[in-house]
Amino acid sequence: MSSYKRNKPPGGFKTYVDFVEFEERPIDVPEEIVEVKAEPELLPGEIVIAEANNVLKFAPLKTNKTGISGTLFITNFKVSFVTSLPVDTKEAELHERSLQNHFLNVHDVCLSEVDSVNQFSEGSTKKKRLFYNAPLPPRLSGLQLVLKNLRIINFSFKFTPAGEDLRVTQALLHHAFPPTIDHLFLSCGHPPPSPGIPDFCVAQDWERELHRTRCPNWRVSKHNEFFNLCSSLPAVVVVPRDLLDAQLDEAAQHFQGTRPPVWCWGSLAGAALVRMAQISPSITDKQQENRMMGLVHRCHPKKLQPTILDLDQMLPSLKDIQISYMKLRELHTPDDPVQFWEQDRHYYSRWESSRWLSHVSKCLEVAKSAATAILLHNSSVILQESEGRDLGAVISSLVQLLLDPHVRTIRGFHCLVQKEWVALGHPFSTRLGHTRNQIEEQSPLWLLFLDCVYQVSLQHHASLEFTSEYLVALWHAAFCSLHSSFMFNSISAKYTATAVLQRENPHQPIYLRPVWSWWAESQSLLVSEQNGTSENCLGKKHSREAFLNVHYIQSLLESLSATGALRRIRDPLSSAYHTWHRIKFLFESSGTLPFDSSCPVASLQLDTPLRIDVSLSSLKPWKDCFCAWLTEPATLTLNESESLLKRSPPNSQHWKHLYQIYNTLKGHLSDSLTNGTLK
């Protein structure tokens, strides 16, 4: 716990609640509020850097600009706004449905979420961006935080004591834009619970995946154990069986990033999915490239020629993807109601002009082509791009989603992301701009992939175990520094940062938390100096219900209605037994993982490939993600703005119905097993 202490005023202080003049306050707000000075809830190792009192926080689209008053704290982990006033319902709902609610409160923002900090003046629409290395004006009227998840937060210093505005701003600019990743708050001193997911950093994890897919003629190589072969690949990789480690060394030197071809996945018939970097520009001899392709060819049981997909030629560039994203960011972060309504009138045309959905369509089209080559033609597929770390991760993941039913479960999807994105070295830090020196290389490939998955879920609403809201939560989680899964450019970069932190804190263990641990967390990690450990008010059950797809679970329940299915529930070798075991975990494990991590994953089955329509007309803007933080203007009525503010309704009634079915079925099974009458 932090040792940060303050002397509390004897009688409290007066809190003003209006941004504009006092007489303009809403009728339900008292003239003054006597409030006991609050302290932020902190994580172990978290310290307060600066604070400003009597700060107003308000939504940018509220026409009367009425805010809530509180104290603004900057710590080495977050921006924390502490107030005793009621929480906005929408903010509370979005906080509850986040993967950060174990270490952030409703009014907290992780520093690594901050994209830019702007200065603004009361009554003016002009903004001026502030930079960490530029001088500040002598007085600040207010700050606007633009977050990487398309959220805007405004703070006014109208009633803040002089000097405090500058101190919090300086602290914010210094800590929100670190020069290197190890300057972020990466460890909170608590070991995370086991996520039940392999990290694909040891040979056993890859061997299990080879065994699950039953793909022959490939082997696990430990030749990269000390990352001397390739710093962006894990310590172990899967390579052609006939490729010796010495030959692997030689081959790697010919490819960009020294990344030789690596196996990702395979079909029962022996077709493999392979990711491969392009030949280095300085090398004109393609002998090694041809040799690697020949080895992939010989790995196929029937020696069929592989299909080679040049992703650099077939898909948009990283720069084009970033440009499209920036257009959407501008569309979804209006500063005032006038801009909101102006953009709302041209919402769909601006979506179209951004070309974002064109990029989504193209990715789905290439993934569909690769899946067709594997499924219908039994052809191995080589995904080739520059270093094989960006679009290769997108397409490889989508191919597996279309072909492998396991990947469509929570457990399988976690394994997929851990394998294709984390272990195989997608440069999250660079692409998402976690440090201040990577602006030119940013490109939201992670968001592009999640949007592609969302489009698949729209066309197959009962095929994925997780919901669109979970995909949104994963996008937002990518900007929280305590989610180590999305912080680093590679596994080796993670190890390097951990070593730096351990040297700086020799007497404190360093624990990095994979994002998947959220499912197994049982309580908040926040600590209040006044009240001790924070109560667990996370609404974990509601979060899980938002993240788990009721239609998928209903299909599991309906599968037990088949003739003889209930009788086979007692047979551990039957699918009915495993389905019932799965259902019990989903309904009864509210504080633990939604699957039995001790149960081995079933072997690959390719009986239910997902067929998708990739045409632009079949794709829809992902409003649950891009519009998540849009706050309605005060003049907005319930039915206005069909485009920007329409969000998916909760499935609470559907869940209630499923619980009734489950409990009825559970009671029936219990009685039948007791009486020996199960049929």
Identity of residue 72: L
Helix (H) or strand (E) holding 321: helix 318-331
Considering the entire predicted model, what is its pTM? 0.91
Enumerate residues 6+ apart whose C-beta is below 8 A from 40. 48, 73, 75, 80, 82
Domains and CATH numbers, the chain: 13-177 (2.30.29.30)
* Cα distance between residue 124 and residue 169, in whole Å: 20
Q: What is the pLDDT of residue 14?
A: 32
Placement of tokens 């329509």 in the chain: 613
Question: What mean pLDDT, rounded, does the chain reach?
Answer: 87
Using the predicted structure, report yes or no on whether residue 48 has a pLDDT greater than 80: yes
Name which of 19-28, 249-258, 334-343, 377-386 the model is least confident about.
19-28
With bands split at pLDDT 50, 70 and 90, how would you rate the model's confidence at 29? very low
Placement of tokens 């009227």 in the chain: 141
pLDDT tens, 605-642? 877 899 999 999 999 999 999 998 876 554 443 344 44
379: its two tokens: 């052809």
Using the predicted structure, report yes or no on whether residue 402 has a pLDDT greater than 80: yes
256: its two tokens: 């960009």
* Burial bucket for residue 503 (CB in 10 Å: 0-12, 13-18, 19+): exposed
Enumerate residues 6+ apart whose C-beta is below 8 A from 603. 212, 213, 214
Using the predicted structure, report yes or no on whether residue 37 has a pLDDT greater than 80: no
Using the predicted structure, report yes or no on whether residue 530 has a pLDDT greater than 60: no
25: its two tokens: 């306050």
Give Rg (Cα) of the chain.
26
Highest mean pLDDT among 186-195, 425-434, 667-676: 425-434
420: its two tokens: 């294709």
Closest by Cα among 40, 43, 41, 22 to 31 = 22
* Cα distance between residue 510 and residue 502, in whole Å: 6
Q: What is the pLDDT of residue 295?
A: 96
Q: What are phi and psi of 566, to 5 degrees?
A: -65, -35
Using the predicted structure, report yes or no on whether residue 406 has a pLDDT greater than 90: yes
Closest by Cα among 520, 590, 579, 519 to 552 = 579
* Cα distance between residue 667 and residue 676, in whole Å: 14
Q: What is the pLDDT of residue 385?
A: 98
Which strands sit side by side in the sheet containing 272-277, from one edge to the other?
262-266, 272-277, 381-385, 307-310
* Cα distance between residue 539 and residue 554, in whole Å: 23
* Burial bucket for residue 20 (CB in 10 Å: 0-12, 13-18, 19+): middle
pLDDT tens, 653-665? 888 899 999 998 8
Print burial letters for 630-664: b (CB count within 10 Å at least 16), e (below 16): bbbbeebeeeebeebbeeeeebeeebeebeeebee
Helix (H) or strand (E) holding 71: strand 68-75
Name which of 354-368, 510-524, 580-594 the model is least confident about.
580-594
CA angle, corner 338, sides to 334 and 344, nearest 5? 65
Mean pLDDT of 335-350: 81
* Cα distance between residue 375 and residue 367, in whole Å: 12
547: left (phi over 0), alpha (psi -120 to 50) or beta: alpha
Q: What is the pLDDT of residue 342?
A: 79
668: its two tokens: 């029936």
Enumerate residues 6+ apart whose C-beta is below 8 A from 324. 316, 354, 355, 356, 359
Strand partners, 15: 33
Using the predicted structure, report yes or no on whether residue 34 has a pLDDT greater than 50: no
Using the predicted structure, report yes or no on whether residue 598 has a pLDDT greater than 90: no
Strands 48-58 and 68-75, bridge-based pairing: antiparallel
Print burial letters for 398-424: b (CB count within 10 Å at least 16), e (below 16): bbbbbbbbbbbbbbbbbbbbbbbbbbb
658: its two tokens: 């499923």
* Cα distance between residue 334 and residue 481, in whole Å: 27
Identity of residue 526: L
Q: How far is CA 422 from CA 191, 393, 403, in A?
A: 20, 10, 21
More confident residue, 631 or 396: 396
608: its two tokens: 């239910």
Q: What is the pLDDT of residue 678?
A: 56
* Cα distance between residue 181 and residue 589, in whole Å: 35
pLDDT above 70 covers a percentage of the chain that reads 87
More confident residue, 80 or 6: 80
Mean pLDDT of 531-545: 61
CA angle, corner 143, sides to 475 and 441, nearest 5? 40
Using the predicted structure, report yes or no on whether residue 12 has a pLDDT greater than 60: no
More confident residue, 679 or 475: 475
Q: What is the pLDDT of residue 96?
A: 87
Placement of tokens 């907290």 in the chain: 108
Q: What is the pLDDT of residue 80?
A: 98
Enumerate residues 6+ apart whose C-beta is below 8 A from 103. 43, 188, 482, 524, 525, 526
* Cα distance between residue 389 and residue 443, in whole Å: 12
Enumerate residues 6+ apart whose C-beta is below 8 A from 657. none
Enumerate residues 6+ apart whose C-beta is below 8 A from 51. 71, 72, 73, 74, 164, 167, 168
Mean pLDDT of 25-49: 68
Closest by Cα among 134, 129, 132 to 118 = 129
Q: What is the pLDDT of residue 455?
A: 99
Mean pLDDT of 180-186: 95
More confident residue, 597 or 1: 597
Q: How far is CA 117 from CA 65, 143, 367, in A?
A: 19, 7, 38
Placement of tokens 């940060």 in the chain: 4
Highest mean pLDDT among 185-189, 380-384, 604-608: 380-384
